[in-house]
Amino acid sequence: MFKFVLRRIIQSVVVFIIASFVIFATLQLLPGDPARRLMGNMATDQQLEALRESLGLNRSIIVQYFDWLWNLLHGDLGSSFGAGQSVTSLVAAALPITLQLGIYSLILALLVAIPLAFQSAKRPGGIIDSLLSVVSISFTSLPAFVWGLGFVLFFSLTLTLFPSSGYIAPWENPIESFRSFALPVLALALPTAGIIARVGRSAIVDTSSSAFVSYAKAKGISQARLRYVHILKAVSAPLITLAGVEFIFLLGDAVAVETVFSLPGMGRLMVVSFFNRDYPVIQGCAVVFIALVLLANIIAEILAAWADPRVKEVAV
């Protein structure tokens, strides 16, 4: 297991360096002058040149990248062009909100998807299987932000049951925090639940025809124990891997959902910074997203290998 984890960490570090450089270089090549954005159209060429020099924008991309990477290793993501604040402080304030949104959504998706998958797999091709298949497909038929817009129109503006925007920390007011998170979490969880339910149903049907299941039935093991202990354990590795992948997509969908519900998370911070051409903030958000993706992938692979040791043998 140690060699497996070490190999995954080394691979992730290499991927992180490559991906961060691509993002850094791409942002530097985008049209628009951050110095002009900061000083306005009335600034003289001398003033613009002095600002570019102070911000380090006149140096080559390679030099800027390695300076930025060195500062990153010391916890410094730079300073925002517009707000004048540390990018690290902006990210530190927004990251917990995005993590809460992603983790809550994944937990809800699993709580919905796994029972759906087992119920659907009881009698493949039956009436219940067909109905639950329609439910799963309906979950995935719309992207998360469309679900979010629909929830705002129905639950917030029509029924006025939940707020349409804003964020309240759980430690400030747990009930109001739950109400502020309910709709965005549900909007993110439904498409994910539909995907996990469909994949889980196929895995359960395939596993149910295995020899060990027939042997367990012959020994008189109860259906509940057979399903939720033996079969669930057998399909846990692919479900864990899928959950890790879906968590990555949840982080991507959170960009749109946070914008719909005005949640001050990483996604909204990144969108606002993009329109303001605030490159340090965009870079900081992007590099944190990359780190989260790689970390989620490592955790999912470790858990999958723990659930099924064969994963380590076939892993590249």
Dihedral angle at the C-alpha atoms of 159, 164, 166, 170, nearest 10 degrees? 50
pTM of the model: 0.84
Q: Using the predicted structure, report yes or no on whether residue 149 has a pLDDT greater than 90.
A: yes
CATH number at residue 214: 1.10.3720.10
Asked if the structure places residue 13 within a domain, the reply is: no
In a domain, 151, yes or no: yes
The model's pLDDT over 155-191, given as tens digits with 9 standing for 90+, comes to 999 888 898 888 888 888 888 889 999 999 999 999 9
Is 52 inside any structural domain? no
Give 44's DSSP letter.
-
Tell me what pLDDT residue 146 has: 92
Is residue 309 very low, low, confident or very high in pLDDT (cuts 50, 70, 90)? low
List the domain range (segments joined by +) for residue 145.
87-314
- Residue % of the chain over a pLDDT of 70: 91
Q: Which residue did the predictor score with more confidence, 262 or 228? A: 262
Q: pLDDT digit string (tens) for 239-255?
A: 888 898 899 899 889 88
Q: Which of 51, 53, 75, 48 is nearest to 64 (CA)?
A: 53
Q: DSSP per residue over 266-313, as a string?
A: HHHHHHHHHHTT-HHHHHHHHHHHHHHHHHHHHHHHHHHHHH-THHHH
Other C-beta atoms lying within 10 Å of the C-beta of residue 29? 8
Of the pLDDT bands very low, low, confident and very high (cuts 50, 70, 90), residue 273 is confident
Half-sphere exposure of 22 (CA within 13 A, CB side): 7
Residue 56 lies in a domain: no
Model confidence band, residue 51 (pLDDT cutoffs 50, 70, 90): confident
Over residues 104-138, the pLDDT tens digits come to 999 999 999 998 988 888 888 788 888 888 888 88
- At residue 45, does pLDDT exceed 80? no
Residue 313's pLDDT band (boundaries 50, 70, 90)? low
Task: State residue 152's pLDDT score.
Answer: 93
55 pLDDT above the threshold of 60: yes
Residue 142 is given by DSSP the state S
Residue 260 lies in a domain: yes
Q: Is the pLDDT of residue 32 over 70?
A: no
Of 2 and 93, which is predicted with more confidence? Answer: 93
Residue 176 domain-assigned (yes or no): yes
- pLDDT given at position 238: 84
> Does residue 121 belong to any structural domain of this protein?
yes
Bridge partner residues of 188 (DSSP): none
Residue 114 to residue 109: CA distance in whole angstroms: 8
- Residue 173: inside a domain: yes
**pLDDT at residue 181, rounded to an integer:** 92
**Both tokens assigned to 100:** 């809460």
Across the chain, mean pLDDT equals: 84
pLDDT of residue 209: 75
**How confident is the model at residue 107, as a pLDDT?**
94
pLDDT at 29: 75
Checking if the pLDDT of 316 tops 60, the result is no
The pair of three-digit structure tokens given for residue 289, joined into one six-digit string: 């997203």
What domain count does the chain have?
1
